[in-house]
């Protein structure tokens, strides 16, 4: 019969247990450490991502505000042009009328041209400068009469037309000017760009005139 030493058996079992436990313990304790590192890295990357998103959002807001400001500025400029009846007349005129009105405005308000002679000489120069001379056939007589009539029907008059009319605001003398727009269509009051003559030492100017008695119309022909 075999005799078993209990003390030796317990010692052997203890040694085996210690060996098994020690071989397993690194794996047990390393896993939480790895998990903790992963968690920290993930949080750090998430925070960086949030910062980038916040910076991008701020940049997008600035770009949006800048774009709105630019559009607003462009709208205001466009609106100011449209609100000016002189510029509006230029925009709505036909090609020939537009070019005459633009040249006339340049001579009157920008270059402030003063020429020898009368209203006829100044307006003739405006037509020539715009490329509508007598010699190139780009002027057309729409209506021709005499000072004592018959007179033009109001609906025939267009922006840029060179009108001959009786100047009721100055001794009912003959006068001529470039028609710009109607101030009061029913009363036949129109805005005219005209020239007072060399002796006044003033460039062409925009003034309202009574166009009840217009007896001649010359028009720029663009085609």
Q: Which domains does the chain have, with CATH numbers?
A: 85-220 (3.90.1720)
pLDDT at residue 83, as a whole number: 87
How crowded is the C-beta side of 97, counted as CA atoms within 13 Å?
23
CA dist 176 and 214 (Å) reads: 9
The closest of 181, 178, 183 to 165, measured between CA atoms, is: 178
pLDDT at residue 222, as a whole number: 83
pLDDT at residue 58, as a whole number: 64
Report residue 139: phi and psi, to 5°. Answer: -120, 135
pLDDT at residue 49, as a whole number: 66
CA dist 203 and 123 (Å) reads: 11
Whether the Cβ atoms of residue 205 and residue 108 lie closer than 8 Å to each other: yes
Whether the Cβ atoms of residue 158 and residue 94 lie closer than 8 Å to each other: yes
pLDDT at residue 72, as a whole number: 45
Can you give the C-alpha Rg of the chain in angstroms? 46
- Mean pLDDT by runs of 10 across the 223 residues of the chain is 56 60 47 50 62 67 58 46 87 96 97 94 97 93 96 97 95 94 97 89 95 98 82
DSSP-assigned beta bridge partners for residue 182:
190
Residue 210 contacts by C-beta under 8 Å, 6 or more apart in sequence?
A: 168, 169, 187, 188, 189
pLDDT at residue 122, as a whole number: 96
pLDDT at residue 111, as a whole number: 96
pLDDT at residue 136, as a whole number: 87
pLDDT at residue 43, as a whole number: 59
């Amino acid at each position: 019969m075999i005799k078993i030493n209990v003390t030796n058996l317990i010692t052997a079992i203890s040694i085996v247990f210690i060996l098994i436990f020690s071989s397993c313990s690194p794996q047990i304790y390393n896993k939480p450490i790895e998990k903790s590192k992963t968690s920290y890295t993930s949080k750090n990357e998430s925070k960086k991502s949030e910062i980038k998103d916040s910076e991008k959002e701020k940049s997008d807001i600035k770009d949006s505000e800048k774009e709105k400001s630019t559009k607003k500025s462009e709208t205001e400029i466009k609106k100011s042009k449209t609100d000016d009846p002189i510029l509006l007349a230029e925009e709505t005129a036909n090609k020939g009328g537009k070019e005459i009105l633009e040249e006339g405005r340049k001579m009157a308000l920008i270059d402030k041209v003063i020429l020898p002679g009368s209203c006829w000489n100044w307006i003739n120069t405006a037509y020539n400068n715009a490329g509508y001379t007598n010699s190139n056939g780009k002027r057309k007589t729409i209506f021709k009469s005499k000072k004592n009539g018959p007179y033009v029907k109001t609906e025939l008059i267009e922006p840029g037309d060179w009108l001959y009319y009786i100047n009721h605001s100055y001794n009912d003398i003959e006068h001529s000017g470039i028609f710009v727009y109607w101030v009061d269509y029913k009363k036949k009051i129109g805005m005219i760009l005209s020239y007072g003559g060399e002796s006044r030492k003033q460039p062409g100017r925009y003034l309202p005139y009574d166009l009840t008695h217009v007896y001649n119309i010359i028009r720029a022909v663009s085609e």
